[in-house]
Amino acid sequence: MDAISVIRTKRDGGRLSDRQIDWVIDAYTRGEVADEQMSALAMAILLNGMEREEIARWTAAMIASGERMDFSSLPRPTADKHSTGGVGDKITLPLAPLVAACGAAVPQLSGRGLGHTGGTLDKLESIPGWRALLSNEEMLQVLADTGAVICAAGDGLAPADKKLYALRDVTATVEAIPLIASSIMSKKIAEGTGSLVLDVKVGSGAFMKNIEDARELAATMVGLGTDHGVRTVALLTDMSTPLGLTAGNALEVRESVEVLAGGGPADVVELTLALAREMLDAAGLRDADPAKALADGSAMDVWRRMIAAQGGDPDAELPVAREREVVTAPASGVLARLDAYAVGVAAWRLGAGRARKEDPVQEGAGIELHAKPGDTVVAGQPLMTLHTDTPEKFPYALAALADAVEVAPAGTLVEPVPLILGRVA
């Protein structure tokens, strides 16, 4: 077996055999297959796809590359959530403590930013002292003590995926449905959660641009989870407009804390509660009321304990970028469109994301929104504020935003896009 023959098979549109898949995943994990070879294979998979049986075997090989966790010692049912990524998608931050406050244990393994989409770990690392890297024993202890943990997957959990996840980000292969599905589900299945809710984003700011591709990805992942004994359901949610009013790291943490305090943008609250209800239902906790836990402060209590348990200071001041620039409305009227992808790229260029897997991110960088589609605006009023420590990045961010905004004449009725577009179970 050799890498070139495996690459050639998929390059020419063939089906990879079980033996080829098992070998290439194992050899890549051990370093026998080089990054450039796996990059070529990933591109071939992006262009030519995989059959259902190939995806299932690829996922099983990713799981087999490492260990499997066991949370059976916990007195609570386990429930996890995964988002396919978007712009301003800070939902994990308020969601994990909220579901824990309702009686479930939430072992939330999260990732870093991919391209224009933000990473949960990057956001939380803007909290002074907070640690993403926990041992399995520490993860279990935080879960037992607080009911929720948000951390990076350990080196022993699907190590093949950890290598491939970083590689996809810098080789333009993030959007491949077989690689997205196997990446997400290999970690979630190996993690050992009893139930899983998937938030599959649809729209310009998501990897899935249309509802058909999103439904295909959702169905693939739900099938993979079900086949491995994990109760899995997916919501299809809109990502044509950024979620909430912030895109960045510390900026999104602030907004998440506002939600936990009983405020925050309506769309963030709506999606947080919808996903919480799905997670609690999947965990068998159908009588729990997440809206009550958000209102009475119990979710905030879990947040504070969870952050402190991972070394963070929930009362610390969050980082603030040194430089700001305001983008104003080009005309008076009704804001008809605010493109999520353009905002994500601009935030990325300001320093909130990374161009290479080795790059650091700026904790305070990002974009603060002052209006959303449907709002009345006046020419010259602030539409958004750009934040960065490196002002030389402003022109590049502004270039990304050149066609991001559309203002319709006053009185124009802008029909809101539903936040939740469908459900796959």
163, 187, 201, 231: the active-site residue: 187
Identify whether 52 is a catalytic site residue.
no
Q: Report the half-sphere exposure of 136 (CA within 13 A, side-chain side).
A: 12
Question: CB burial class (10 A; 0-12, 13-18, 19+) of residue 183?
Answer: buried
Buried b (16+ CB within 10 A) or exposed e, 146-164: bbbbbbbbbeebbbbbbbb
161, 169, 199, 238: the active-site residue: 161
83, 126, 182, 183: the active-site residue: 183
CA distance 60 to 66: 11
10, 57, 81, 82: the active-site residue: 82
Strand partners, 424: 234
57, 123, 168, 231: the active-site residue: 168
Identify whether 370 is a catalytic site residue.
no
Which of 406, 375, 348, 362 has the alpha carbon at shortest distance from 265? Answer: 375
Identify whether 183 is a catalytic site residue.
yes
Supply the residues annotated as catalytic: 82, 161, 168, 183, 187
